[in-house]
Amino acid sequence: MTEATSPDVPQFTVGETVRMRKAHPCGADTWTVTRVGGDVGLRCVGCGRRIFLARRELARRLHPRLSAETAKPS
Ligand SMILES: [Zn+2]
């Protein structure tokens, strides 16, 4: 058990796809997780742009319906 497993800070897995509430300017609203750590690295599925977000910030921006589903790898 670590701090990172606290319920308000969801875990992300490299390679998983997440959906944001707000679409990127390129029109895509899905991102691939490229790095996890202090910040989560994301690559836009539409245009390939890479960004980094704090895990907590990413959790806030995720689409609420999908955030639970994407939290578990399939
Ligand atoms: Zn994009």
Bridge partner residues of 42 (DSSP): 33, 51
Do residues 4 and 11 touch, judged by C-beta distance below 8 A?
A: yes
45: CA distance to ligand 1 center in Å?
6
Do residues 31 and 44 touch, judged by C-beta distance below 8 A?
A: yes
Q: In this predicted structure, what is the pLDDT of residue 41?
A: 97
CATH of the domain at 51: 2.30.30
pLDDT along the chain (74 residues), means of 10: 58 93 96 93 98 92 66 52
Q: In this predicted structure, what is the pLDDT of residue 38?
A: 83
Structural domain of residue 61, as residue ranges?
3-70
Q: What is the CA radius of gyration of the chain?
A: 12
Structural domains of the chain, count: 1
Q: In this predicted structure, what is the pLDDT of residue 10?
A: 76
Identity of residue 21: R
44: CA distance to ligand 1 center in Å?
5
d(CA 44, CA 65): 19
Q: In this predicted structure, what is the pLDDT of residue 37?
A: 85
